[in-house]
Amino acid sequence: MSREFNIDYVFSFIPKMLSYLHITLFIVASSLLLGLIIGLLVALPRMYNIPFLKRVSQVYVSFFRGTPILIQLFLVYYGLPELLKLVNINSSRWDVLWFAVATYALNSGAFISEIIRSGVEAVDRGQIEAAQSVGMSGYQTFTRIILPQALAVVVPVFSNLVIANLKDTSLAFTIGAMEMTGKSQTLGAATQHFVETYIALSLIYLVVSLILQKLFKVLENTLLKHEHRDTVQSEPKKRKSFVVRYLNPRLSKGGKSI
């Protein structure tokens, strides 16, 4: 099936694949950015209970959370050109990368809308009322009261989403996108050293996701500073473990598991 294992190939493959890392990261970053916009647009009708749009956004979220990303990739790859044809746009010469980005954006949009919703809902209603009673406008309440607290709650879940997204990009090769996994396929086929290819690729994914995890941990700690301030003397750890232990399992419904 494949040739004798030779560790040297692992080391020689790593730099070759690393030169495609930026494409993988580009897919992750651009899909998250677009997903953030989509997520916000989708979360709003549900938070403000807008009759028809609320239903639409529910179906959207349910569909993208209820189907495998692989199927979504193929749906977008074959479906989007048809939709674009309706408005007289010819997408036949577009880079497949854009279809991958579109799929991951639509997918993360569904998860992000859930994250936004759960984050906003996690803020105590009494605080919002208090903010309004001292005369804050809706915008002020949102930016000064809701957002800082919602962000702190949401960061761990968001970090899971980003890492899940990174791992999901490994599927983009199925529609022919040339990112790291796509490159590994050609390397494996050319040298017949498949095991080494996938070991090298796994190591890259592992290191990147560990770095991302660390970065989000730092961000989380910064955002949770205000949670510590009044409890530093008595029980510095308890406050944080409350968030981690009680809110995370509830919010994880908004994140992907695998």
How many angstroms separate the Cα of 31 from the Cα of each of 16, 86, 111, 138? 24, 24, 12, 29
**Residues 6+ positions from 68 with CB-CB distance below 8 Å:** none
**Which residue from 131, 163, 175, 187 is in contact with other proteins, where contact means CB under 8 A?**
163
Q: How far apart are CA 201 and CA 24, in angstroms?
A: 12
Is residue 11 near other proteins by the rule CB under 8 A?
no
Contact 39, 113 (CB under 8 A): yes
Taking a C-beta distance cutoff of 8 angstroms, is the pair 77, 175 a contact?
yes
For residues 223 and 158, the answer to whether their CB atoms sit within 8 Å is no
Q: How many residues belong to the site for other proteins (CB under 8 A)? A: 49
Compute the distance between CA of residue 168 and CA of residue 248 in angstroms, rounded to an integer: 22
Question: Given the complex with other proteins, which of 66 and 135 has the nearer CB atom?
Answer: 66
Minimum Å gap between C-beta 258 and other proteins is: 3
Question: Does 257 sit near other proteins (CB under 8 A)?
Answer: yes
For residue 168, state whether it binds other proteins (rule: CB under 8 A): yes
Selected from 194, 219, 221, 223, the binder of other proteins by CB under 8 A is 194
The number of C-alpha atoms within 13 Å of 163 and in the hemisphere containing its C-beta is 22
- Minimal distance in Å, beta carbon 92 to other proteins? 14
Of 13-21, 89-97, 206-214, 221-229, the window that binds other proteins (rule: CB under 8 A) is: 206-214
Does residue 214 touch other proteins according to CB under 8 A? no
Nearest one of 214, 252, 256 to 104, comparing CA atoms: 256
| Number of residues written out for the chain | 258
* Residue 79 touches other proteins, criterion: CB under 8 A: yes
State yes or no: residue 75 binds other proteins (CB under 8 A).
Answer: yes
Interacting residues with other proteins (CB under 8 A): 1-2, 5, 62-63, 65-72, 74-75, 78-79, 82-83, 85-86, 163, 167-168, 170-171, 181, 194-195, 198-199, 201-202, 205-206, 209-210, 213, 245-246, 248-250, 252-253, 255-258
